Chains A and B, each alone.
Chain A
Amino acid sequence: MIGAEAIIKCLEAEHVTTVFGYPGVAICPFYNSILESDIRTILIRTEQNAAHAASGMARLTGRPGVCAVTSGPGATNVITGIATAFADSIPLIVITGQVNSTLLGSDVFQEADITGAVESFVKYSYLVRKVNDIPRIFKEAFHIANTGRKGPVLIDIPIDIQNATLEKFVYPEEINMRTYKPTVKGNGAQIKKVIRELDKSSRPIICAGGGVILSDAREELRAFSEKYRIPVVSTMMGIGVMPTEHPLYYGMVGNNGKAYANKAMNDSDLLIMVGARVADRAVSQPDLITQNKVLIHIDIDPAEIGKNAGPSIPLVGDAKNIFLELLKEEFDDDFSDWISTLNEYRVKLAPKRNPNPEYVDPAAFIDMLSDKMAEDGVYVADVGQNQIWSCAYHKVKKGRFLTSGGMGTMGYSIPAAMGAKLAAPDRQVIAVCGDGSFQMSMMELATMKQHDVPVKIIVLKNNYLGMVRQYQHFTYKDHYSVVDLSGSPDLEKLSAAYDIPFLRVFNMKDAGEKLDAFLAKDEAMIMECIIDPMDLV
Chain B
Amino acid sequence: MKKRIYSVLVENRSGVLCKVAGLFSRRCFNIDSLAVGETDDKDVSCMTIVSSGDQRTIEQIEKQLNKKLDVIKVKTFEEQQCISRELMLIKVKYNKTNRRDILEICDIMKAQIVDVSRHYMMIQICDEPDKVKSLISMFSSISIAEVARTGTLALSKCTEND
Contact = CB atoms under 8 A, between A and B. Distances in A.
B69 A306 contact: no
Contact of A124 (B63, B64, B66, B69): B69
B64 A303 contact: yes
Nearest to B70: A179
Contacts of A120: 22, 26
Given A115-B15, A120-B22, A302 B63 contact: yes
B63 A303 contact: yes
A303 B64 CA distance: 6
Contacts of A124: 69
A498 interface: no
Nearest to B68: A179
Contact of B22 (A119, A301, A307, A310): A119
A180 interface: yes
Contacts of A177: 69
B153 to A, nearest CB: 22
The bracket for how many chain A residues form the interface is 10 to 19
A116 interface: yes
Chain B facing A: main interface SS? helix
A429 interface: no
Interface in B59-79: 59-60, 63-64, 66-72
Contact of A302 (B22, B66, B70, B71): B66
Contacts of A85: none
Given A120-B26, A179-B11, A303-B63, A310 B56 contact: yes
Interface string A223-264: 000000000000000000000000000000000000000000
A328 interface: no
A301 B22 CA distance: 20
B69 A179 contact: yes
Nearest to B44: A178
A302 B64 CA distance: 9
B39 to A, nearest CB: 14
Nearest to B27: A120
A179 B72 contact: yes
B2 to A, nearest CB: 16
Nearest to B9: A179
B19 interface: yes
A462 to B, nearest CB: 37
Interface in A294-314: 301-303, 306-307, 310
Interface string B17-33: 01100100010000000
A310 B56 CA distance: 8
A144 interface: yes
A123 B68 CA distance: 8
Interface of B: 11, 15, 18-19, 22, 26, 56, 59-60, 63-64, 66-72
Given A124-B69, A144-B69, A178-B72, 5 more contacts: A119-B18, A127-B15, A179-B68, A180-B69, A302-B66
6 residue pairs, one from A and one from B, having the closest CB atoms:
A303-B63, A124-B69, A179-B72, A180-B69, A303-B67, A179-B69
18 contacts: A116-B18, A119-B18, A119-B22, A124-B69, A178-B72, A179-B11, A179-B68, A179-B69, A179-B70, A302-B63, A302-B66, A306-B56, A306-B59, A306-B60, A306-B63, A307-B56, A307-B60, A307-B63
